[in-house]
Structure 1
Amino acid sequence: MEFFDSMFISASGMRAQGQRLRVIAENIANAESVGETPGQDPYRRKVIAFKNYLDRGLQADVVKVSKVGTDPSEFRRRYEPGHPAADDQGYVSYPNVNSLVEMTDMREAQRSYEANLKVIETSRAMLSRAIDILR
């Protein structure tokens, strides 16, 4: 039964990293999304938080997304007086998304996803070998 437990635990990690990748993709897609009118806030970067959750069926901790929040950091500002979203001083607020940070987070999420997938593949191979031995 421990083979299946390890697979379920890894699957929860894969689900969490999949959600993280969706949030990162949304951030990258909106990296240049500004407000439509002067003074309107642009897109605000989203961040994801995880938590341990006791799965009573497995009697093991699994990972779940606790919340998807927003990054409170300041928006980037550029001087573009002709832009429709420019304020009185001619500055346009751009999202607080840093593409380099997002790509680094994406790579980390990808590696975590792959590690969990490897655990499932290894557990499956071990279970298969155990069944072969019992035959």
Structure 2
Amino acid sequence: MTVFGAIGIASTGLTVYRKWIDAVSDNLSNMNTVRSTNEAAYQAKYVVAEAANYGNDTDDGAGVRVQGIALGDAEGRMVYEPDHPLADEGGYVKYPDIDMSSQMTQLIMAQRGYQANAAVVDRAKESYQAALQIGRS
């Protein structure tokens, strides 16, 4: 694998982890979104990643890509808040079924993955610059 190949593969990882961080950010910012009981709750977003060119024997690694976004449950959770303006006649409103601790764990994993791929890009860039210096000597 060439230095440019390492940068290319690491950049695909950066893209996937950035999209994962974006999805977690959306989930965290909408975890307190209230809906009436006859509406669907905010659906959490989950990034589905896959190996790029998986199963292609002629390719020595093309990185990873986002296959799509999976959505969480639209049922949400019912909370008794009789004073809320969106409450039904029983006093219930609907919140998304999003667990903050799970989302924070995913955020930490995505941040660390992003940092690891960024470090690969930095190391590959340093190797390329060192090779250029050797060529100049």
TM-score relative to the length of structure 2: 0.86
**Is it true that 1:10 corresponds to 2:10 in the alignment?**
yes
Matches of 1:121 and 1:23, distance apart in 2: 26
Query: What is the RMSD computed on CA atoms of the aligned residues?
Result: 2.1
Q: Map 1:31-46 onto structure 2 (within 5 A).
A: 31-35=31-35, 37-46=36-45
Specify the SS of the correspondent of 2:9: helix
1:51 aligned partner: 50
Cα offset for 1:91? 2.0
1:22 aligned partner: 22
**Bigger mean CA deviation after superposition, 91-100 or 115-124:** 91-100
Matches of 1:115 and 1:48, distance apart in 2: 19
The total of aligned residue pairs comes to 133
**Is it true that 1:114 corresponds to 2:115 in the alignment?**
yes
Which amino acid is 1:102 matched to?
Answer: Q
Matches of 1:87 and 1:96, distance apart in 2: 19
Runs of 4+ in 1 over 4 A off after TM superposition: none
Aligned-pair identity in percent equals 28
Contact persistence 1:38–1:84 (CA under 8 A): no
Matches of 1:131 and 1:18, distance apart in 2: 31
The CA deviation string for residues 50-94 of structure 1, in whole angstroms up to 9 with x for no partner, is 0111299x7522111101121138522221123233234322221
Cα offset for 1:134? 2.4
Matches of 1:78 and 1:112, distance apart in 2: 35
Matches of 1:66 and 1:115, distance apart in 2: 21
2:90 aligned partner: 89
Q: Unpaired runs of 5+ in structure 2? A: none
Q: Unpaired runs of 5+ in structure 1? A: none
Contact persistence 1:14–1:113 (CA under 8 A): yes
Matches of 1:38 and 1:108, distance apart in 2: 34
Specify the SS of the correspondent of 1:49: strand
Matches of 2:7 and 2:80, distance apart in 1: 52
